[in-house]
Amino acid sequence: MSESLEDLTQAVLNFRDERNWAQFHGLRHLMVSLNLEASEVLELAQWKSDAEIEALAGNQELADECADVLAYLLLLANRAGIDLTAALHAKLAKNAQKYPVGKSYGRRDKYSALGEC
């Protein structure tokens, strides 16, 4: 089942509103919560080998943490009036200029170092 960002945002807003939690979701609180949830994704990798981390693919705990990150991102974008689809397309266009394929293909260098290629 594939849903649009708008559908997912509405589902998260409905969940929030059914619990009267909007009062706790100021922009600052959502920014903090997004980062805390992202840290919980990172925590899954703490003290693990690369092989153990790769084994997390398909893991329910990782899926749950990713869902938490997405939920807070959708709430944050909604609160800030950000169209995530448009923002991503705009960012990809900016990055395409900073990282042209001919200079960045197969390289991990920051854009400022690509001029030396």
Structure tokens at 34: 């997004």
- Global pTM reads 0.90
7-33: pLDDT as tens digits: 999 999 999 999 999 999 999 999 999
Residue pair 6/12 in contact (Cβ under 8 Å)? The answer is no
Could you confirm whether domain 1-82 is CATH 1.10.287.1080? Answer: yes
Buried b (16+ CB within 10 A) or exposed e, 20-39: eeeeebeeeebeebbeebbe
Show me where the domains of the chain are located.
1-82, 84-117
Per-residue pLDDT tens digits for 22-81? 999 999 999 999 999 999 999 999 999 999 999 999 999 999 999 999 999 999 999 999
- Residues 57, 51 contacting (CB under 8 angstroms): no
